[in-house]
Amino acid sequence: MIPIPASLAAAALAVLVAPLASADPSDFQYVRTQTGAVRCVISAPHVGCERSSAYGFPGAPKSQSGAGNWNIAGIDDNGTSVSIDRVSPS
């Protein structure tokens, strides 16, 4: 019999009993920053965020329809970025 270190046995056991990660594509989670300046909706296939400032996200492209920068951005599960220019903050 070959002795197995306790840490290796614990790691192997954790892998064997860990649940598989999966997400329901129709399940949405809503989060916002403590100040409320940014709010996001998160789902398995997409994350989208809106900055409520009239000036948009500081690092975003300049808006074509108003002062400041784009204020909505998102990314799909395949890594495709999606940005939307200027939606009035609510």
Residue 13 banded pLDDT, cuts 50, 70, 90: very low
Domain interval for residue 40: 22-84
**Stated pTM of the model:** 0.60
Q: Is 56 exposed, middle or buried (0-12, 13-18, 19+ CB in 10 A)?
A: buried
DSSP designation for 17: H
pLDDT at 56: 86
Q: What is the pLDDT of residues 46-76, one digit of tens each?
A: 899 998 887 888 888 888 877 788 888 888 8
pLDDT at 30: 92
Q: Is residue 15, in this structure, part of any structural domain at all?
A: no
DSSP β-ladder status, 38-42 and 29-32: antiparallel
Domain count within the chain: 1
Distance CA 87, CA 51 (A): 10
Would you state the torsion angle of the CA atoms of residues 77, 81, 86, 90, taken in this order, to the nearest 10 degrees?
Answer: 20
Q: What is the pLDDT of residues 21-43, one digit of tens each?
A: 565 667 889 999 999 999 999 98
Q: Is residue 13, in this structure, part of any structural domain at all?
A: no
